[in-house]
Structure formats: structure tokens, C-alpha cells
Amino acid sequence: MKKRFTEEQIIGFLKEAENAKLKKLLAEAMLDMEALKVVVKGKP
């Protein structure tokens, strides 16, 4: 039976998925930090 993907390709797919997840977490954390800055600064 022929394999559909090589092990290297599968590892690459998993790394891409993990990187996408980490980028999303980073973006959310950056948004949270900006929101906190606005709150700490206070309303004008």
C-alpha cells in the first residue's frame, strides 16, 4: 500500500498547524495588552 504523505510532509503539516495556533495566541495576547493599556490610561 502506497503512503499518501511522507513522514516529513506530515511533520511539516503539524508544524504549520502549530505555528498558526501560536500566531493566533500571540495576536490575541497583543490585543489584550492594547485593551488593558486603554483601560489603564482611563477614559478622556
Predicted confidence at residue 25, as pLDDT, reads 98
pLDDT at 42: 81
Write down the pLDDT at residue 3: 85
Amino acid at 13: F
Instruction: Look up cell 490575541; give the residue.
Output: 28
Q: Rounded CA gap, 13 and 8, in Å? A: 9
Question: What confidence tens digit (pLDDT) does each residue in 1-44 have?
Answer: 788 999 999 999 999 999 999 999 999 999 999 999 999 998 65
Q: Please provide the size of the chain in residues.
A: 44
pLDDT value for 44: 59
